Amino acid sequence: MSQIKNQLAQLNGSAGPLFISYYTAQGEPFPNNVDKLCGPNMTDFPPFHPNGTEKTKLVELYRIVAYLSASLGNVTRDQRILNPNALSLHSKLNATVDIMRGLLSNVLCRLCNKYHVGHVDVTYGPDTSSKDVFQKKKLGCQLLGTYKQVISVVAQAF
């Protein structure tokens, strides 16, 4: 469980720099319109209830991390194309995705070992491959904004 907490702390500590790095790398109008373009107004983001039981929180955490991991995978793929020179952003995205992979493993083991939960249904975000560039950037920015907001809540919940 301490590993999950440390991972959440890692994610919580890196979410802010990742968000800044992202909208900075996208260029205008994102840096000057962060609130408008990157507001956490994603409707399909998995819910999280900090006051739930540990098992519930672990299940909800698993869904959130699975959602984020998949979405950040898409964002990483898009940024390699849209901003191939934003290496710092790429590095941060990769590190976040890796941490989430580890967090998923830990949460799954915790659910499996302690709560005997072997399977959790998860949801994924929309596919952005068909979106235009601006929409890709905007969806990515909204995702990171939401991630930053949610992860702080989740980290505090554990």
Partner 1 sequence: MSTLRIWLTQALFIFLITESIGQLLEPCGYIYPEFPVVQRGSNFTAICVLKEECLQQYYANASFIVWKTNHVAVPKEQVTVINRTTSSVTFTDMVLQTVQLTCNVLSFGQIEQNVYGTTVLSGFPPDIPTNLSCIVNEGKNMLCHWDPGRETYLETNYTLKSEWPTEKFPDCHSKHGTSCMVSFSPIYFVNIEVWVEAENALGKVSSEAINFDPVDKVKHIPPYNLSVSNSEELSSILKLTWNNSGSLRLKSDIQYRTRDASTWIQVPLEDTASSRTSFTIQDLKPFTEYVFRIRTIKEDGKGYWSDWSEEASGVTYEDRPSKPPSFWFKINPSYTQESRSARLIWKELPLSEANGKILDYEVILTQWKSFSQNYTTNGTELIVNLTNNHYIASLTARNMVGKSDAAVLAIPSSHFKASHPVVDLKAFPKDNKLWVEWTAPRKTVKKYIIEWCVLSDNSPCVPDWQQEGGSVTRAYLRGSLLESKCYLITVTPVFTSGPGSSESVKAYLKQAAPSRGPTVRTKKVGKNEAVLEWDQLPVDDQNGFIRNYSISYRTIVGNEIVVNVDSSHTEYTLSPLSSDTLYMVRMAAYTDEGGKDGPEFTFTTPKFAQGEIEAIVVPVCLAFLLTTLLGVLFCFNKRDLIKKHIWPNVPDPSKSHIAQWSPHTPPRHNFNSKDQMYSDGNFTDVSVVEIEANNKKPCPDDLKSLDLFKKEKISTEGHSSGIGGSSCMSSSRPSISSNEENESAQNTASTVQYSTVVHSGYRHQVPSVQVFSRSESTQPLLDSEERPEDLQLADAVDSRDEILPRQQYFKQNCRQPEASPDIPHFERSNQVSSGSEEDFVRLKQQVSDPISKPCGSEQHRLFQEGPATGALGAGTDGQVEQFESVGMGTVLDEEIPKSYLPQTVRQGGYMPQ
Peptide bond into 17 cis (omega under 30): no
- Answer for which of 36, 50, 98, 133 binds partner 1 (CB under 8 A) is 98
Cα(80)–Cα(21) distance, rounded to whole angstroms?
14
Cα(83)–Cα(74) distance, rounded to whole angstroms?
14
Q: Does 4 bind partner 1 (CB under 8 A)?
A: yes
- Answer for which of 21, 79, 96, 106 binds partner 1 (CB under 8 A) is 106
Cα(130)–Cα(15) distance, rounded to whole angstroms?
26
Query: CB of 135 within 8 A of CB of 128?
Result: yes
Reading the block at residue 128, the tokens are 């952005």
Question: Using CB under 8 A as the criterion, what x/- string covers residues 14-33 for binding partner 1?
Answer: x-------------------
| Residue with smaller CB distance to partner 1, 94 or 123 | 94
Reading the block at residue 66, the tokens are 């699975």
Q: Does 102 bind partner 1 (CB under 8 A)?
A: yes
Q: Which stretch binds partner 1 (CB under 8 A): 9-17, 27-35, 54-62, 76-84?
A: 9-17
- Answer for which of 72, 86, 108, 143 binds partner 1 (CB under 8 A) is 108
| Residue with smaller CB distance to partner 1, 98 or 127 | 98
Minimum CB distance to partner 1, residue 152 (Å) = 15
Inter-CA distances, 91 with 14, 86, 97, 111, Å: 11, 9, 10, 30
- Answer for which of 36, 80, 101, 114 binds partner 1 (CB under 8 A) is 101
CB within 8 A of 135, min separation 6: which ones?
128
| Binding residues vs partner 1 (CB under 8 A) | 2-4, 6-7, 10, 13-14, 94-95, 98-99, 101-106, 108-109
